[in-house]
Amino acid sequence: MAEGPDIVVAALSARALAAAARRAGRSPAAVDLFADLDTRRLAKPCLRLPCEALRLESGPLRNALARTDLRGLSLVYGAGFEDDPALLAHFAEDRPLMGNRPDVVARVKDPFRFAATLARLGIPHPPVALTVNGSPDAHLLKRIGGSGGAHIIPASMALAKPGWYLQRRVTGHAVSVLFLADGDRAVIVGLSRQWAAPTPASPYRYGGAAGPWRCPERWTRTLPAMIGRLAAAFELVGLNSADFLVTGSDLHLLEINPRPGATLDIFDRPPMPPLLGLHLDACAGRLPDRLPVLSGCRAAAVFYADAPTRIETGRRWPAWTADQPAAPVTIGRGEPVCTVFGNGPSAGAARRHAERRQRELAALAAMEMQ
C-alpha cells in the first residue's frame, strides 16, 4: 500500500469492492459516497464524493479520478453507474475498464431492449411499458438504471415520467444468481435469497441477501443454460448478477446487474478463490472450469436508521458489521447505517442471525439516544 494504489474501485459504496481487491492481493483506491471507516482502512486514497439523493454525480467523480495518483489505473465499478453509461465511456477513454463495456451496460439497463432480447431467448420476464394497461395496482414504477430497490413503487402511487418505466407486478420470492462471464460463456458462483426492508414510501427497499441458497434440482441444468444464453446475448464479462422472482417452479427474470454487487459479502470467502481476481480474469476471457462449494451460509443485511441517529467519535463497532460510518455524523431516518453479517447452516438461519444482530444494534442506538 505504501507505493500507492494499483487499481481503483468506485461505487455508491465501495467497501465490498475494496475488501475484495485486498483479498485478491491488490492495493485499491476507493471512490464512493461514504468513505466509511473500514473502507478507509482498506483503500488509500479513499475519496468521498458529495452525496445527492444517493446518486453518483458526474463532475465530482470525474475530478476524483483525474487525480495524479489515479490517472490511468484500471477501474472496477460497482452499483451507481447503470443510469449513465456515457460516464463509463468517458472513463474508458484513458484507463482500462474492468467490467462490461458501456454499450453493454446501456443495452442491459434499457428495459425495452432487455425485454425484447429475453423474448427472443424465450426467458420469462414481466412485461414492461411506458403507460398503464389495466389496473395501476398490477404494475410497478421503476427508474431506468436504478439500483437498491428504493426507487421502486407501485404504479398507483405516482405517474410515469421521463427516465421511468412500468413493469407488470409478479408475485414470488427473490433469488439472485451471481455469475462470471467471458462474453460468450458463464459460470455460476452461487445463488442467494434476497429480501426487502419496506417503508411506506419505499416498499421494495433492499434489505439484504443470504447464501449460498441451494439450487432446486429441477433447475440444475436449465438455470446454468439460461445464464449462459444471457451472457452470450449481451456479451457480458466479469461478475454479474441476475435477479429472479420465483413462483412455484417458475422463474421470472427481473433484471441483470452488469457489475459486481452486494453479494460479494456472501461469496467472497474461503474456499472460494478471490472473486475480484476471478472478475479480472473473466474480463480478459478466462473462466474457471469449476468453483468450490462454500460451507455454511452467510447473510449481509442493511441496518437502516428508524430515527435520526448521531454517531459520535470513538464509537466501537462489532466485528460483525461493515460500512461503519466515520464520526461524527448524523444519519437521517430511513438512511443506511451499516451492514450486519450473520451466519448459519442455511440461508434462512443466516438471515435470522443477522436480524437478531440488527435488533442488538437498534437497542444500543436507543440506549445512546436516552
C-beta of residue 112 within 8 angstroms of C-beta of residue 290: no
Neighbours of 308 (CB within 10 A): 12
7-98: CATH architecture: 3-Layer(aba) Sandwich (3.40)
| DSSP letter assigned to residue 52 | B
Task: Kindly report, residue by residue over 273-294, the tens digit of the pLDDT.
Answer: 999 999 999 999 999 999 999 9
> In this predicted structure, what is the pLDDT of residue 225?
96
Paired residues of 342 in beta bridges? 299
Task: Kindly report, residue by residue over 92-126, the tens digit of the pLDDT.
Answer: 999 999 999 999 999 999 999 999 999 999 999 99
Same fold, 7-98 and 106-283: no
Q: Is the C-alpha dihedral spanning 281, 282, 287, 291 positive or negative?
A: positive
Residue ranges of the chain with per-residue pLDDT less than 50 = 1
Q: Tell me the Cα Rg of the chain.
A: 20
| Residue ranges covered by each domain of the chain | 7-98, 106-283, 297-369
**Cα three-residue angle 239-242-243, rounded to 5 degrees:** 140
Query: The whole model's pTM is what?
Result: 0.95
User: Would you state the cell numbers that stand for residue 97, as one nine-digit string?
Assistant: 475498464
Q: Is the C-alpha dihedral spanning 63, 339, 265, 175 positive or negative?
A: negative
- Is the domain defined by 106-283 classed in CATH 3.30.470.20? yes
